[in-house]
Amino acid sequence: MKYLEEFRDAGVARRLLDDIAAITTKHHVLMEVCGGQTHSIIRNGIDRLLPDHIEMVHGPGCPVCVTPLETIDKALEIASRDGVIFCSFGDMLRVPGSGRDLFSVKSAGGDVRIVYSPLDAVKIARDNPDREVVFFGIGFETTAPANAMAVYQAKREGLENFSMLVSHVLVPPAMRAILDSPANRVEAFLAAGHVCSVMGYEQYFPIAQQYGTPIVVTGFEPLDLLHGIKMAVAQLEEGRAEVENAYERAVTREGNIPAQQMVQDVFTTVDRNWRGVGMIPMSGWALAGAYRDLDAAERFTVTDIATVESPLCHAGEVLQGTMKPDECPAFGKECTPRAPLGATMVSAEGACAAYYLYGRYEELETAR
Amino acid sequence: MTLDSWSCPMPLRDHPTIVMGHGGGGQLSAELIEHLFVPAFGRGELADLADAAVLDTGGRVSFSTDTFVVRPRFFPGGDIGELAVNGTVNDVAMRGAVPRFLSVGLVLEEGLPMAELGVIVESMAAAAAHAGVTIVTGDTKVVDRGHGDGVFVNTTGIGILPDGVDIRPQRARPGDVVIVSGTVGDHGMAIMSVREGLEFESTIRSDTAALNHMIGTVLGTGADVHVLRDPTRGGLAASLNEIAKAADVGILLDERSIPVDRTVAAACELLGMDPMYVANEGKVVAFVPAGDADRVLEAMRLHPEGERATVIGEVTATHRGMVAARTPLGATRVVDMQVGEQLPRIC
């Protein structure tokens, strides 16, 4: 089909792989920021087709994975209450909180609904004036405009039974945190194409300059990824550290300005805890003052939340690229998609899930 | 036995209550069968874990049951009635039997419009006539409003097994080729697109169809068919993983050769789903010796539901119990079973 087959062409991929091999003279560590890119890389076997010198490490760009445990526990608590309709993207339902997930809340009688857009939750609020409707507003800059729009609409309509549990996170502060870490090995970034389609890529220039790190805006299809990798490797080999765009069909330098304006109106930048990573200053969005009355965390006073993270889970190191999923001692043993210890093993964008679903090569090779 | 004295078998303890994933056709469904139903109901014919049981009652019969709870009840390409007939006809046919008789159990919710029931029943009659089966017994119960979801349908079917036919998952063996009778993922994406009000360049239609006539033609060629499976819930990936485990063989797919309708591919891409895990209701996966592949393909293509039949992979003596795929770029990856239901991703 159009837009898919063209970006999965094996012949073109072969040529790009040959080009990358031809320009590579030494070991390079590249990080793809977004979990969607991670899944595409592992699912298509791109990491195994690249020259041995090119090492891909996987970034923090899995919204479900970095949503703090205390926020998930708050969600579980709110969703369990009588009279609440709790709406969420499907991916969030299987993420383990301290001991249970939204699916368990649903099977225990909670009204938990999967929606495809926050605006669906606004409609549910409109249709159910006697119920409190809460939307779980998480994600990176990509999902923020639609979430902002839902809040804006609910406010404008005076829908008093609608609120949002917000835990938005931002890519650039996370990239800085990774580069600031003493354990960092990342030499170049493939920036997340979808985030850039909203935000543009001007915000990456200071990072590239300050840290001397090449940043290439990259898409998600196999050829997009190979194109981005090639540009990043070329920069490293030539000693350049620039911001380049390998995803021109979707991303412009300034991004989607009306979307950015909507986000700026509704959200304000705050410090944010990242699950497994810790607090990153000014790395999240919360509802701005004028919309604070739509904040579910304030509307439903949720107290006494004691969070318990499994001591066996190394998701934080995986999210920061200092550990590969299959290097984790619990990978495939105590931790599987069937019984996950951390969110990275559950989400459709989690690196551990990608390795487990597509990448157990060793098991393939050693199975009888 | 009381609720307190019942001891929950090991893997089921993780979920003290039933969750949606227990019906999703993935690992949770498989665990429920392995650790609850099979130990409780005995190992006999049930333990084959095929789509239908084969019973020796003088002559051999194939016997299967299925329950249908689809929402919405009417969808592009079919309705719950047609689905319930075709689904059980197909399960019975997956052992190589000729489906003959069906029972129908209806659970109706108080308040269901009579016209809806009328259309569903007419549709069941038409599907039965098309498949050449007779509905010979039935039952109806009505539950209070709010205690059902309009209509639930159970169908049970019996088919006659010709002499010499032995088709079951355990017969897959290295050297077999894997054939699928057409595009995968149509039914699941048709349901999802109406349920969520998603619109695409063309309407995605369910592939619901009775496959017994096509299977009859395939068996009529004299091909030594080892396995037939209809990849419903859990999709192609779940069926192939079940077969790899049952026969203790490896399966290697060529990902590029798996047929997917372009609108279905676009819908899956949009929602972050993989067509290999999406339900089908009118497709069969066949395992046959490589030498028989051509005549099986020709036989399938004689029927509209098999027009796009194609070879998608082979059975190997390596990586036993696992399914792998060669990716479009030429790498190899694992194709695992889903845990529960496939969930749309966030962005």
What is the complex's ipTM, to 2 decimals? 0.82
Mean pLDDT of B323-335: 92
Q: For residue A306, give the amino acid letter.
A: A
> Minimal Cα distance from B317: which residue of A?
A368
Share of chain A above pLDDT 90, in %: 82
What is residue A110's predicted lDDT score, i.e. its pLDDT?
95
Q: Is the pLDDT of residue A252 over 70?
A: yes
Number of A/B CB contacts below 8 angstroms equals: 133
Interface mutation vs chain B, best among A12, A15, A72, A94, most B CBs within 10 Å: A94
Q: Is the pLDDT of residue B168 over 90?
A: yes
CA torsion, ordered B335, B341, B344, B346, to nearest 10 deg: -90
A345 contacts chain B (CB < 8 A): no
- From the list A116, A142, A357, the residue facing B334 with the nearest CB is A357
Please state which of the ranges A315-329, B17-31, B234-248 shows the lowest mean pLDDT: B17-31
Cross-chain Cβ contact A116/B340 below 8 Å: no
The tokens for A2 are 């159009």
Please state which of the ranges A350-354, B55-59, B312-316 shows the lowest mean pLDDT: B55-59
Q: A182 vs chain B: nearest CA distance in angstroms?
A: 31
Specify the 3-state DSSP secondary structure of B305: helix
Non-local CB neighbours of B110 within 8 Å, separated by 6+ positions: B142, B143, B144, B145
Q: For residue A168, give the amino acid letter.
A: H
> What class does CATH assign to B169-334?
alpha beta
Q: For residue A49, give the amino acid letter.
A: L
By CB neighbour count within 10 A (0-12 exposed, 13-18 middle, 19+ buried), where does A367 fall? Answer: middle
- From the list B21, B196, B336, the residue facing A116 with the nearest CB is B196
> Minimal Cα distance from B251: which residue of A?
A364
Sort out which chain B residues have CB atoms less than 8 A from A93's CB and list them. Answer: 343
Specify the 3-state DSSP secondary structure of A283: strand
What is residue B123's predicted lDDT score, i.e. its pLDDT?
96
What is the 8-class DSSP label of residue A141? Answer: T
Considering the domain A5-62+172-245 in this protein, what is its CATH number? 3.40.50.11750
Sort out which chain B residues have CB atoms less than 8 A from A90's CB and list them. Answer: 343-345
**Residue among A142, A65, A40, A43 nearest A318 (CA):** A65
Q: State the pLDDT confidence band at A3, using cuts at 50, 70 and 90.
A: low
Cross-chain Cβ contact A357/B196 below 8 Å: no
> Minimal Cα distance from A17: which residue of B?
B329
The tokens for A93 are 């339902």
What is residue B47's predicted lDDT score, i.e. its pLDDT?
72
Q: Is the pLDDT of residue B347 over 80?
A: no
What is residue A36's predicted lDDT score, i.e. its pLDDT?
92
| DSSP H or E stretch at residue B83 | helix B80-93
**Residue among A100, A109, A69, A105 nearest A88 (CA):** A105
What is residue B346's predicted lDDT score, i.e. its pLDDT?
63
Sort out which chain A residues have CB atoms less than 8 A from B266's CB and list them. Answer: 1, 4
**Helix B293-301 vs helix B212-220: angle between axes, to the nearest 10 degrees?**
140
Where are the domains positioned within chain B?
1-42, 53-165, 169-334
Q: B332 vs chain A: nearest CA distance in angstroms?
A: 6
Report the C-alpha gap between A354 and A362 in whole angstroms: 15
Q: Are A169 and A143 in contact (CB under 8 A)?
A: no
pLDDT digits (tens, 9 = 90+) for B181-211: 999 999 999 998 888 777 776 789 999 999 9
What is residue A1's predicted lDDT score, i.e. its pLDDT?
43
Q: Is the pLDDT of residue B53 over 90?
A: no
pLDDT digits (tens, 9 = 90+) for B274-326: 999 999 999 999 999 999 999 999 999 999 999 999 999 999 999 999 999 99
Q: Is the pLDDT of residue A165 over 50?
A: yes
**Helix A35-44 vs helix A351-358: angle between axes, to the nearest 10 degrees?**
20
Mean pLDDT of B143-163: 94
Q: A245 vs chain B: nearest CA distance in angstroms?
A: 20
**Residue among B182, B180, B76, B86 nearest B133 (CA):** B86
Considering the domain B53-165 in this protein, what is its CATH number? 3.30.1330.10
Report the C-alpha gap between A168 and A286 in whole angstroms: 7
Cross-chain Cβ contact B346/A114 below 8 Å: no
Where are the domains positioned within chain A?
5-62+172-245
Mean pLDDT of A89-100: 86
What is residue B247's predicted lDDT score, i.e. its pLDDT?
97
Neighbours of A250 (CB within 10 A): 14
Phi, psi of A193 (to 5 degrees): -55, -40
- Pairing type for strands B227-229 and B323-326 reads unpaired
C-alpha distances (whole Å) from B37 to each of A316, B46, B61, B137, B169 are 40, 9, 22, 26, 19
Report the C-alpha gap between B337 and A218 in whole angstroms: 30
pTM of the model: 0.87
Report the C-alpha gap between A192 and A205 in whole angstroms: 15
Cross-chain Cβ contact A139/B333 below 8 Å: no
Neighbours of A254 (CB within 10 A): 11
Q: Is the pLDDT of residue A64 over 80?
A: yes
Mean pLDDT of B168-175: 97
